[in-house]
Structure 1
């Protein structure tokens, strides 16, 4: 056994397990991932003891600027010259799809915790990739259906014009139609927009009951603020933010965000275990509570290290296969598993933002309306068209 570990150690980053957090450090998603995701990865390594299979573990990070070419170049450099074994976070769907393909070519591992595109476990699935926190299918499935079923049947979408936003609109539209609703149209906006006036005027003119925001981060917050300024909500239209993170609500304030209903995979104040870990995070992150995408990095890195400990191999595909064999249990994810296509099947939550009068202490922002089991929240395996599944059959 000792000689086998030594052999694996020689192949894994020359005896060091190296984890790269490739993320948005300065753009529209920085508050939701960024430095908080780097801290979460470091906390996972520290809690694991700083070593795995006798090897030290190192965390590095870089800013991909939400550009696929930059992200791919950084990933290639990490794999080819800096000895990185796995890349995590990524957030941008376009970057994630490119890095997942590269990770397969290099037999490394992608732990995708931030991106939303379901294609990571669909047509572009990989034996070297795992999709951790959520995806656009689950967000739309968990949050959109209850609104349509309440009678809010006519929708108009304001959509980020790249793979994440387009996929989110597509999945939400399917849910709207499946529940007897109608999609009256959509407007596409560039990433990191500052002026949504023309798009909001089109949404207003549609007279849709619901304007669905198929965007995230600063784009979602800016659109929501400007929608209030343009009088969409006072005029009777409802706003549905399809991807919401805790830092977004903090930045918006409860007065602006109150009553929003949405889906997410984690809330820091859900129970004693989530509070205990979150308070440790907050002590090291200027008092800021963690969002789901940051916590997902902790969970993914921890499970990855457990797989190395169990498998003791340098092969990325073999490590992912080991991850699929092991149940996932931590404060963030309970009794979950990684499906054949790389999708983590875990509970999702239907959440609502509290009114200011109901918030009793800092970061006390959400009510948990419902818990949706993973097998009900995520896309059925048969519907993803993952080649790994077809090959297995």
Structure 2
């Protein structure tokens, strides 16, 4: 009996470290690595860029720098808005640098390519910078999540508000890649569902310098609304060129379908005043937003837009999911991301659908005139709050075949 007792005691001592390790959780490669992959030098550099990297670092610091007692690392790269470049970077991160998840992913063509690669590699993506609703629609994957906004929410917000105030005929000036196509399609569908008509569209290459021929076609259409289905510097340059052609003075209105605080700042209130736009975040909406924005400003010298705030939120939620799962195993973390509520300054009472779409409120704003602005970055008048279930497609509407 004494010998048997000694065996039991020895077994208990051997098991104890394993139990302690299990309680601490399992983290592969002794670190959690998150990649921020976006445009840091091109047309979308202010839209997300290095500012999103800083927002990700803030989330890691606020979480405590560790998860399951292991360090958290942020890596970043510039994909130059090229899907092949982005895929090569992502593959190298996964195969050589042991990156666990990739986030931000500005440019829809890039996000679609990296999300598919990540499915094959069994890795998580959390998209903030890309817009196409296909990411959680026909291109959905078990490991793909879409966080800050999408083309459907922009269509409901900006498109819906303009149709309801008399803008019932539309002509689109569209960026000729996945994002522009999806935005034009979603807004067109919503405009037509409200009784409006689409009179035509013209497509331009990404990072266009001369919008003259495109705007002449828009002007000739006589549409009440010229929908700018582009973003970043392309939208800014479209608006500047439209002013030169007297588009607004001639009685047509411009709809900046994806326009954020970063673009308003770059364009200036004089040129941007009166534009109606939809964002998922504004720094001056409430005390929580102002507190985050103050810290972000201290680090970057600028106020955050919805892409920066959304990146913070997605990084924070990913770390919460790892903690809740007790592991960084992809399947376990993806399961927790769908189960956990999202409740932070960016998404108050948010939820994640089975297709990976994070549902949260969106906001309709109008850009103030210079006379209305009380100071730097005081750019928006809040017109309406669009509830998440209205802004984003339901699972049934999304077209995602949730077969996992």
Shorter chain as denominator, the TM-score bin is: over 0.9
Match of 2:269 among 239, 242, 254: 254
SS at match of 1:386: coil
1:194 to 193, 197, 209: 209
Of the three residues 359, 382, 388, the one matched with 2:396 is: 382
Select the residue among 350, 367, 377 that pairs with 2:364. 350
Instruction: List, as ranges, runs of 4+ consecutive aligned residues in structure 1 with deviation greater than 4 Å.
Output: none
Looking at structure 2, the residues matched to 308 and 330 of structure 1 have their Cα atoms a distance apart, in angstroms, of 17
Report if aligned partners of 1:108, 1:315 keep a CA contact under 8 Å in 2.
Answer: no
Match of 1:309 among 323, 330, 336: 323
- Aligned ranges for residues 216-235 of structure 1 at < 5 Å? 216-235=231-250
Give the counterpart of 2:108 among 88, 93, 99. 93
CA offset at residue 151 of structure 1? Answer: 1.3
Q: TM-score, normalised by structure 2?
A: 0.94
Counterpart in the other structure of 1:2: 20
Give the Cα–Cα distance (whole angstroms) in 1 for the partners of residues 179 and 338 of structure 2. Answer: 26
Q: For residues 226-375 of structure 1, what are the structure 2 equivalents within 5 Å?
A: 226-286=241-301, 288-375=302-389
SS of structure 2 residue aligned to 1:358: coil
Shift of 1:5: 5.8
Structure 1 residue 103: Cα displacement: 1.3
Q: Contact between 1:341 and 1:381, CA under 8 Å: does it hold in 2?
A: yes
Match of 2:77 in 1: 62
C-alpha distance after superposition, 1:294-339 (max 9, x if no partner):
1100000000000101102232132011011111111111011101
Match of 2:179 in 1: 164
| Count of residues in Structure 1 that have an aligned counterpart in Structure 2 | 386
Q: Deviations over 1:146-165 (max 9, x none)?
A: 21121111110000000000
Give unpaired runs (5+ residues) of structure 1. Answer: none
Look up the SS of the partner of 2:259 in the other structure: coil
The offset of 1:106, in angstroms, is 1.4
The residue aligned with 1:47 is 62
Whole-Å separation in 1 of the counterparts to 2:121 and 2:23:
21
1:119-158 deviations in Å (ceiling 9; x for gaps) = 1101111111110000001101111112112111111000
Which digits, 9 at most, give the CA deviation of each residue in 1:40-67, with x for residues without a partner? 0000000111000111000010000000
1:26 matches 2:28: no
Q: Are the counterparts in 1 of residues 32 and 328 from structure 2 also a CA contact under 8 Å?
A: no
- Which structure's CA Rg is the greater one? 2
| Residue of structure 1 in register with 2:7 after alignment | none
Structure 2: runs of 5 or more not aligned: 1-18
After TM superposition, the score normalised by the length of structure 1 is 0.96
The within-5 A match list for 1:54-203 is 54-203=69-218
Deviation at 1:244, TM superposition (A): 0.6
For the residue of structure 2 that corresponds to 1:357, the secondary structure is coil
CA distance in 1, matches of 2:323, 2:250: 58
- Deviation by residue 1:92-120 (Cα, 9 ceiling, x = unmatched): 11111111111111121101111101111
CA contact (8 A) 1:92 1:114 kept: yes
Q: Partners in 1 of 2:160 and 2:126 — Cα distance?
A: 29
Counterpart Cα distance in 2 of 1:37 and 1:215: 20
Shift of 1:366: 0.2
> Does the 8 A contact of 1:127 with 1:321 survive in 2?
no
CA distance, structure 2, for counterparts of residue 232 and residue 27 of structure 1: 27
Contact preservation (8 Å) 2:24, 2:326 = no
Q: Quick check: 73-82 or 327-336, which moved more?
A: 327-336
**CA distances 1:158-211 after superposition (whole Å, capped 9, x unpaired):** 000000000000001111111111111011000000100000000011111110
Which range moved further: 95-104 or 294-303?
95-104
